[in-house]
């Protein structure tokens, strides 16, 4: 049995159909983890959809209601860049519940892995860039409201800057946001995170890891969060269709070791979300996400977990 839980729901599929976002990847990750005997039935837990009360900790009521009742405008859907469906909405609400559950489990076990989530482009009153609900922000606000944490840190390693997350927590001294991303890429407007590591095109493993380490390690030490949410995007990969960085599979594994190892060695629990991944071969995206789970197991077993 794994030392942490994998959070998954069969309805995570956003029902995008023939789209650059492979919304079937969540099922494929689940199936790969089972097929490789990395995880058994007892290692998975199924989330419930985040209730409206939780969504409203982050999002405007009007946005949540229009999502739920299917009254988005043409402009809303154009900004989202995905086809609207009831299944899409259900999947976003489930992802928010899943990241919240993964965060709760992380406080208990040291790590929680949501096979979904990381929708960091969602703002309080609108969605964009394939993201309608900011599950990362919902999880942090829910746990803070319950008094389970006072300080949280978001380490966003998607190839695209986490603009929605940065905007939501702007001025909130209890949440530290760090984003490492390709600068000449979506989104065009990048609200400031606490730390933005703006990378030039075609940056590879060595520079990426050096830049991330130099910013992340001292920030973690100084801020001392009680929870870290790791947005473990697969799209810095050199064969990603929507990315322009040049990380290899080994470089991405080293990234995971850096983030997870540093946090857990400092007794900071980590909730993992998947975010983007648009490799030419979807199996590469699945491999990157599966590797993150394997590294989480390796690191957690190495450092042990007795909590803070």
For residue 18, the model assigns a pLDDT of: 83
pLDDT mean over 152-169: 98
Query: Looking at the whole model, is its pTM more than 0.85?
Result: yes
The pLDDT score that the predictor gives to residue 16 is 83
Instruction: Quote the pLDDT of residue 308.
Output: 58
What integer best gives the mean pLDDT of the chain?
A: 96
Return d(Cα 183, Cα 56) in angstroms, integer. Answer: 31
pLDDT, tens digit, 9 for 90 and up, residues 125-136: 999 999 999 999
Q: What is the pLDDT of residue 304?
A: 83
With a CB cutoff of 8 Å and minimum separation 6, the contacts of 109 are 3, 4, 5, 269, 300, 305
Give the count of beta carbons closer than 10 Å to the beta carbon of residue 120: 30
Using 50, 70 and 90 to split pLDDT, how confident is the model at 307? low
Of 7-21, 197-211, 257-271, which gets the smallest average pLDDT? 7-21
For residue 17, pLDDT beyond 90: no
pLDDT reported for residue 15 = 79
Confidence band (pLDDT; 50, 70, 90) for 195? very high
For residue 306, the model assigns a pLDDT of 72
Q: Which of 12-16, 25-29, 218-222 shows the lowest mean pLDDT across its residues?
A: 12-16
Query: Span 235-244, mean pLDDT?
Result: 97
Say if residues 13 and 24 touch (Cβ distance below 8 Å): yes
Averaged pLDDT for residues 192-214: 98
- What is the model's pLDDT at position 66? 96
- In CATH, the number for domain 5-303 is 3.40.800.20
Residues 280-294 have a mean pLDDT of: 98
């Amino acid at each position: 049995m794994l030392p942490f839980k994998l959070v998954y729901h069969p309805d995570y599929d956003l029902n995008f159909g023939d789209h650059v976002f492979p919304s079937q990847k969540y099922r494929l990750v689940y199936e790969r983890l089972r097929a490789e005997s990395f995880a058994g039935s007892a290692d998975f837990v199924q989330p419930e959809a985040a209730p409206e009360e939780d969504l409203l900790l982050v999002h405007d009521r009007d946005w949540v209601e229009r999502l739920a009742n299917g009254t988005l405008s043409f402009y809303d859907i154009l900004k989202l860049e995905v086809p609207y469906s009831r299944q899409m909405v259900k999947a976003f609400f489930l992802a928010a519940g899943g990241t919240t559950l993964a965060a709760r489990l992380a406080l208990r076990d040291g790590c929680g892995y949501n096979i979904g989530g990381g929708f960091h482009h969602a703002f309080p009153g609108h969605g964009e860039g394939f993201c309608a609900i900011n599950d990362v922000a919902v999880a942090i606000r829910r746990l803070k409201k319950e008094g389970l944490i006072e300080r949280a840190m978001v380490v966003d390693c998607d190839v695209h800057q986490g603009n929605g997350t940065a905007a939501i927590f702007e001025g909130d001294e209890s949440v530290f946001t760090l984003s490492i991303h390709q600068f000449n890429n979506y989104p065009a407007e990048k609200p400031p995170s606490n730390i933005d590591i703006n990378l030039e095109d075609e940056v590879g493993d060595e520079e990426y890891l050096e830049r991330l380490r130099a910013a992340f390690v001292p920030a973690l030490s100084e801020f001392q969060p009680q929870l870290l949410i790791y947005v473990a995007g697969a799209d810095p990969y050199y064969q990603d269709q929507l990315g322009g960085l040049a990380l290899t599979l080994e470089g991405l594994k080293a990234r995971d070791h850096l983030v997870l190892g540093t946090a857990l060695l400092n007794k900071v629990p980590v909730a993992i979300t998947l975010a983007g991944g648009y490799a030419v071969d979807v199996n590469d995206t699945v491999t990157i996400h599966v590797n993150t789970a394997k590294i989480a197991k390796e690191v957690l077993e190495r450092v042990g977990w007795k909590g803070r």
